[in-house]
Amino acid sequence: MTSQEITPTRLPFLMGVYDAFPLLGGYIPVAISFGLISTQSGFSVMETILISTVIYAGASQFLFVAMISAGAPLWLVITMTLLINARHVVYAPSLAIYLPQSRWWPWLMHGLTDQVFALALTRMEKIPEHTRMGWYTGAALLAWLSWIVGTAVGAVAGEELTTRWPLLGEVMPFALPALFLVLIAPRFTSRIWIITLGATIILAFLLKLFGYLNAAIPLAAVSGAVIYYLIQKLDTYNAK
């Protein structure tokens, strides 16, 4: 069931929460994994929770913890974190066309993640314009809070959980990528999206294969946006 099928009397905020609820299946396991890794790297429980609350950047948090614990200089940590998150330069304009101007934008940007972006891109165009801000706020807030809660669980009890169920420690890191694939799968319905997503996936895989681990995601994301733009322009030109 999607937000379109929910009774129209339901608040847009609750619609967003309802639609984003499946994200918890990916967020919480990976957040637990981060909480565990962070405390094992020497960060306290409160520091670990603060990282997830303020930075809230998935892969960047793992990199941040690893580099800090290894004694990397602060400027390099900041540079690498910004490089990994450069894909948000592509995400934001894609969603901005669906959302009205608001003084809450600085706070709303904090809630933009890969999975929230994929979900919003699928849902936004299908719901009334006046409900989109409330919908996005509900979806983003639920995802953020679930990440914080999962981090806290991992920081406090992650080691005990993985000791009791060893397989859990091996499965958790795959939860978020699997969820993201499920979210983008509906986009493989048209030529432009098949080409764009296919090229992006292949490029990211090749970059990682040749050792460009940190640059793979941002470069592939930017390349995907350029490919999508060029195909649109070509289609428009051919239609004239």
Band (pLDDT 50/70/90 cuts) for residue 8 is: very low
3-state helix, strand, coil in the chain (%, to 5): 85, 0, 15
Nearest residue to 118 (alpha-carbon basis) of 63, 64, 62, 186: 186
Of all residues in the chain, what percent carry a pLDDT higher than 70?
Answer: 84
Structure tokens, 212: 């460009």
Highest mean pLDDT: which of 153-167, 181-195, 196-210?
Answer: 196-210
Average pLDDT, the chain: 80
Classify residue 154 as exposed, middle or buried by CB count within 10 Å of its CB (0-12, 13-18, 19+): buried
For residue 122, give every residue at least 6 positions away whose Cβ sits within 8 Å of its Cβ, in sequence order, or none: 183, 186, 187
Q: Confidence class of residue 135 from pLDDT cuts 50, 70 and 90?
A: very high
By the 8 A CB rule, do 166 and 158 touch? no
Min mean pLDDT across 72-76, 132-136, 147-151, 177-181 is at 177-181
The arithmetic mean of pLDDT across residues 68-81, rounded, is: 82
Given this model, what pLDDT does residue 201 score? 84
pTM check: above 0.75: no
- The reported pLDDT for the residue numbered 47 is 94
d(CA 120, CA 105): 15
Mean pLDDT to the nearest integer, 81-88? 75
Question: Model confidence at 9, in pLDDT bands (50, 70, 90)?
Answer: very low
φ, ψ for residue 191, nearest 5 deg: -60, -45
Q: Which of 43-47, 125-129, 192-196, 221-225 has the lowest mean pLDDT?
A: 221-225
Q: Would you place residue 180 in the very low, low, confident or very high pLDDT band (cuts 50, 70, 90)?
A: low
CA 188 to chain centre: 19
Residue pLDDT, tens place only, 202-219 = 888 888 888 877 677 677
Q: In whole angstroms, give the CA distance from residue 66 to residue 38.
A: 8
Q: Encoding tokens for residue 179? A: 């969820």
pLDDT at 167 over 70: no
Residue 68 has pLDDT above 90, yes or no: no
Q: Residue 67 pLDDT > 90, yes or no?
A: no
**What integer pLDDT is reported at residue 52 of this predicted model?**
93
